[in-house]
Amino acid sequence: MVAIHTFDPKKDKMVFVGYTEGSKFHRVVLPEHYMRKYGGYGQQVDVVERWREQGIKKVYLREMASGDTLISNVEDWTGPHSIKETWGHGPQYFLPAKFMQRVQKG
């Protein structure tokens, strides 16, 4: 496992965003990470670029509130359903949850 960090300009510090394991990226997302405007989650552009450089193929987001896991392909984060926007935490790609596979807890 390799920890992934990025600089968050709003917090003015490096923050942990998740970890890689083989060709997978894993992240735990809290309710406050959900972007209602887009109906999904965001990830800093530099992290998505590192996924590609490191050969990451799948992204696993585990929702703390529901316990469900949302699975997507790396290409989905820059594809036609993604939204590139900046909301103070640096440039991010947002991917609506409806374009991810939901695996329910249990």
Q: Starting at the earlier edge strand, list the strands of the sheet with 24-29.
A: 2-8, 13-21, 24-29, 58-63, 69-73, 101-103
Is the overall model pTM greater than 0.85, yes or no? Answer: yes
Q: What is the mean pLDDT of the chain?
A: 96
Domain-wise residue ranges, the chain: 2-103
| DSSP secondary structure code for residue 30 in this structure | -
Q: For residue 8, what pLDDT is reported? A: 93
Q: Please report the pLDDT score of residue 105 as a whole number.
A: 86
Dump pLDDT digits (tens) for 20-71: 999 999 999 999 999 999 999 999 999 999 999 999 999 999 999 999 999 9
Q: Is the pLDDT of residue 75 over 80?
A: yes
